[in-house]
Amino acid sequence: MGGERKTLRNTLVLIAGLLAFWQLVYWIIGDVAMRSPWQTMRYTVTFVQSELFWTHLPNTLQAFAVALAIAVVLGLLIGFALGLHRLSAEAMEPMLVALYSIPKITLYPIILLAFGLGMSAKIAFGAIHGIVPVALFTLNAVRSTRPILVKTGRVLKLSPPAMVRSILFPAAVPEIFTGLRVGFSLTLIGTVLGEMFAAQHGLGYLLMNAIGLYNVDVIMAVTFLLVVFAAGVNAVLLAVDRRLHFRA
């Protein structure tokens, strides 16, 4: 209980500190390029009620949801397939790590050529950001399952699907969830980036458009909304993550 209160206090202090920092930077830089926290929040409230926002938001959400679904399903499949086979796991893990560290942004033009401008390119770009972390965390979780659990499964003569369902998956849930949390953030970033480079809809496009028109109010509001959304969801996922790891 004390730990939770401490986290809450720390978070509040942190938010206050960040707002103060923001205000300070605003005082230094001024109205040309920025808005103060108060102005941004006020504009965000009107912006959220505008039609402009509501035509673009569903687009981003839809692309993000599909991308996340693809990343999770493919990531889990790859992770389990490789994790179950010792040699595959050993050989592919460093390759996945290498894939994880390459700047995937450079692949964007290729994705555009392959998928064309629009929804599918955004989804693909979001998904490639998310697949690798989900696969990596799953692979390592499956590989490091306690041998005694696997042996028990073998003694009970479980079929491979039953083994995954009733032993490997439950044992790996905490680690897999961490993978999902990281995958969630990266997929969101990927989707928004995709919209920034080439799209006619979505919040990323709105942001790019606002840069072109030099509309500081919109830039600040969209950035603010993205950060609040990402940080908010991540905080919830992190809390679940900690609980899962604590239980395990």
Partner 1 sequence: MRRVRIYQIAVIAGFLLLLEALCLAGVIDKITMPPPHRIAIDFVRLLLAGKLYPEIGKSLANVLLAFASAYLIGIFTGTVLHGYRTVRETLDPLFATYYAIPVFAFYPLFIVIFGLGDGPQVLIGFLLGVVAVIVTTLNGLDRVPRVLRKTASICRMGPFETAVHVTLPFCAPYLLTAAKLALAYAFIGVIGSEFIMARSGMGYEIGYAYTNFDNATMYPLILLILLLSIVMNGVLTHWEKVLLARRGQR
Can residue 238 be called a binding residue for partner 1 (CB under 8 A)? yes
Please choose, out of 9-17, 41-49, 57-65, 167-175, the segment that lies near partner 1 by the rule CB under 8 A: 9-17
Please choose, out of 28-36, 119-127, 142-150, 161-169, the segment that lies near partner 1 by the rule CB under 8 A: 28-36
Q: How far apart are CA 198 and CA 205, in angstroms?
A: 8
Of the candidate residues 231, 240, 243, 245, the single one contacting partner 1 (CB under 8 A): 231
Please choose, out of 54-62, 135-143, 145-153, 222-230, the segment that lies near partner 1 by the rule CB under 8 A: 222-230
Helices then strands, counting H and E runs in the chain, come out as 11, 0
Of the candidate residues 11, 23, 46, 144, the single one contacting partner 1 (CB under 8 A): 11
Nearest alpha-carbon partner for 202 in 191, 216, 187, 215:
191
Among residues 172 and 188, whose Cβ is nearest to partner 1? 188
Q: How far apart are CA 222 and CA 53, in angstroms?
A: 9
Structure tokens at 104: 């995937």
Closest approach, Cβ 106 to partner 1, in A, equals 5
Can residue 36 be called a binding residue for partner 1 (CB under 8 A)? no
Among residues 38 and 156, whose Cβ is nearest to partner 1? 38
CA angle 140, 146, 150 (to 5 degrees): 100
Can residue 27 be called a binding residue for partner 1 (CB under 8 A)? no
CA dist 45 → 41, 55, 119, 221, 225 (Å): 6, 16, 28, 9, 10
Nearest alpha-carbon partner for 224 in 235, 212, 232:
232
Among residues 149 and 226, whose Cβ is nearest to partner 1? 226
Look-up of token digits 């490639």 = 128
Using CB under 8 A, which residues numbered 48 to 77 contact partner 1? none
Q: How far apart are CA 115 and CA 201, in angstroms?
A: 16
Of the candidate residues 41, 65, 189, 244, the single one contacting partner 1 (CB under 8 A): 189
Q: How far apart are CA 45 and CA 206, in angstroms?
A: 16
Total chain residues near partner 1 (CB under 8 A): 62
Closest approach, Cβ 214 to partner 1, in A, equals 8
Using CB under 8 A, which residues numbered 120 to 179 contact partner 1? none
Structure tokens at 173: 């849930």
Structure tokens at 67: 């991308």
Q: How far apart are CA 96 and CA 159, in angstroms?
A: 28
Binding region for partner 1 (CB under 8 A): 6-7, 10-11, 13-14, 17-18, 29, 32-34, 87-88, 90-92, 94-95, 97-98, 101-110, 112-114, 182, 184-186, 188-189, 192-193, 196-197, 207-208, 210-211, 214, 216, 219-220, 222-223, 226-227, 230-231, 233-235, 238
